[in-house]
Amino acid sequence: MAINTNKKRVLVIQPLHPAGMEMLNARDDIEIIECDSLDENVIAEAAKDVHAMTVRGATITRKIMLQAPDLMVVSRHGVGYDAVDLDTLNERNIPLCIAIHSNMISVAEQAMALLLGLAKEIFYYDEVTRTNDWAPRFPTRAVDLDGKNLLIIGFGRIGRQVAKRALGFDLKVFGYDPYVDDSILKTANVEPVKDFREVLGDMDAVAIHCMKTEETTNMFSDPEFKKMKRDAFIVNCARGGIIDEHALYQALTSGEIRGAGLDVLLNEPSAADHPLFSLKNVLLSPHIAGVTVESTRRMATQTVDNVLRVFDGNIDPECVVNQNVLNSSG
């Protein structure tokens, strides 16, 4: 089939919310190619000669991008980008855009929901109440968050939204982010922490909201759990692998910490016999913290908006991960 060279070709990998598709269809200078597959070979075939890609759960490899010599932008449907070959994009001076404003509220609310669920023993009390067993009311298991210490790891957009909500529950909020100036944390009424490991023994809860990098992989493992309070909670709505899951299992079963709320795991989807799935002091969700009715629409529209801005020459620098390509003449 002959390619219409007068149109920009956009590869939509996995379906977008109708609001995003409407934005693409409204343009008569765009040809849409849809690919509902996560298979590298299938995506590579669909990517031939495209100018843009919108990406949800697919891994975008060098092989895929080499099929598109005129590629202008890769736009992520969300904020994580560890599944995109950034080195190849940098080599070719192609921007990687993310939907920075789309799901920060949703993730922050999920983090607080997990923390509240752990503190208030929501699922335990729901289970026993359904069996008409009111005996577990005493001795009580639930604890208050009021006045407790919360450490937020990563003080980007999501971390700041978590802090805002935590302060509303009268938690004392501390923040660790070596890449954010202390003044930003202080302005948000958050106490900056230089070395998070030094304060773990004072924290009642930890919420992880940093990127997964070499630096943060297994950031929480045996040494960190041994420093934590025995009644502390840990919540991860960032990426699997930041917490060493074997070490977490040992900490939870030995009583080193009280509970964990996890929206992410190292391998997704995980096997049904994952050791953490057997524990009553673990709350789980299937990597959906950022996926709500509202955020799905926001992610789709911003993902498409990032593509259109590149085509129209008015890219939003705030949405670009690899800022170095913006000043490149290549």
Check: CB of residue 242 under 8 Å from CB of residue 261.
no
127, 268, 294, 318: the active-site residue = 268
Active site residue 209: no
287 annotated active-site: yes
Catalytic residue at 51? no
Catalytic residue among 239, 245, 256, 258: 239
**What are the backbone angles phi and psi of residue 14, rounded to the nearest 5°?**
75, 145
CB within 8 A of 173, min separation 6: which ones? 150, 152, 163, 166, 167, 189, 190, 191
* Catalytic position from the list 56, 160, 258, 287: 287
Give me the residue label for tokens 């923040």: 175
Task: Enter the tokens of residue 29.
Answer: 């200078």
The sheet with strand 282-284 has its strands ordered as 191-192, 172-176, 149-153, 205-208, 233-236, 259-262, 282-284
The secondary element (H helix, E strand) that includes residue 126 is helix 122-130
Nearest to 111 by CA among 232, 206, 237: 237
- What φ, ψ does residue 259 adopt, rounded to 5°? -165, 165
Place of tokens 């940098």: 90
Contact at 8 Å (CB) between 233 and 258?
yes
Q: Which residues are annotated as catalytic?
A: 239, 268, 287
